[in-house]
Homo-oligomer: A and B are copies of this chain.
Amino acid sequence: MPEPRVPGPTFVATTIPTMRTKQSQSSCPDSTACDACSVRELALFADLTRAELGSNPSIQDLRLSPGACLYRAGDTGAAIYTVREGLLKLEQYLPDGTSRIVSLLGPGQVAGLEVTVAAVYEHAAVALQPTWVCRLPTEIVARLSGKLHRQLMKKWHEAVLQAHDCTRELATGSARQRVARLFLMLASRDAASSNTAQSAHGRCRLFGREDIGALLGVTTETASRVVAQFRRMGTVQELGPNSFTCDLEALEQIATEV
């Protein structure tokens, strides 16, 4: 498969004045957009023919800038969202008011699945990178449920796998190990879009230290310290802002050390 590149609208580099606010630009795709979608085979509609799909106007493409919020915990669930490109965090709140990231969603994964069986969203979904999602209203899901069942089950499965991965890989061991595993996880995600699969160095986009902390269950300072240490050791190299190349072997080493 060719390198996925999102067609859609031209990249709108609008600056968002207020972060953490819902910021979404809809672009009504032409009738073949779903065909052309880079995550077509991953997406919910994999089993549908184009005729069944039609050019449904209620299916929208949305673009999220980093920090933009797709929905919040407790919002009435009106739609589910397939990630086409980018990265979302699912965030929940602790008894003491602080928040914790319980899952990450990348291309092909679905946010908000819970509203197919419940009334409201369980988490806040917030973009960590520039992200495109495909919005699918719950009515459509209900209407097509006969056709979508198999795909929905697979998406549920992915959601569980992802949640368990986060506990197992990112909430266990020392801060060094967790950060190393995070780099490996992100690099393997981005590897899917890179043509050379098996090289000793990977590439990934990181995000803010505060989010890293909330994901790994450590403080912002610790997250910063470890990333800085990796950079000094040459384990990772910063190309641009939060864009890294990683020495995968060295990271693997750290991830599994005593």
Interface residues, chain A, with chain B CB atoms under 8 Å away: 90, 92, 94-96, 100, 102-103, 113-114, 116-118, 122-123, 145, 149-150, 152-154, 156-157, 159-161, 163-164, 166-169, 171-173, 181, 217, 252, 255-258
Please report the C-alpha to C-alpha distance between residue A96 and residue B102 in the assembled complex, in whole angstroms.
23
Could you show 5 A-B contacts with beta carbons less than 8 Å apart?
A: A92-B164, A117-B150, A117-B153, A156-B159, A163-B164
Closest to A255 in B: B95
In the complex where A122-B164, A160-B159 touch, is A173 in contact with B94 (Cβ < 8 A)? Answer: yes
Whether the Cβ atoms of B122 and A161 lie closer than 8 Å is: yes
| Residue in B118, B153, B160, B168 whose beta carbon sits within 8 Å of that of A100 in the complex | B168
Q: A113-B160, A167-B171 are in contact. List 18 more A-B contacts (CB 8 A).
A: A92-B164, A92-B168, A94-B173, A95-B256, A96-B256, A96-B257, A96-B258, A102-B167, A114-B157, A117-B154, A122-B160, A122-B161, A122-B164, A145-B149, A156-B156, A156-B160, A160-B163, A171-B217
A204 to chain B, nearest CB (A): 18
Please report the C-alpha to C-alpha distance between residue A159 and residue B113 in the assembled complex, in whole angstroms.
12
Closest to A157 in B: B117
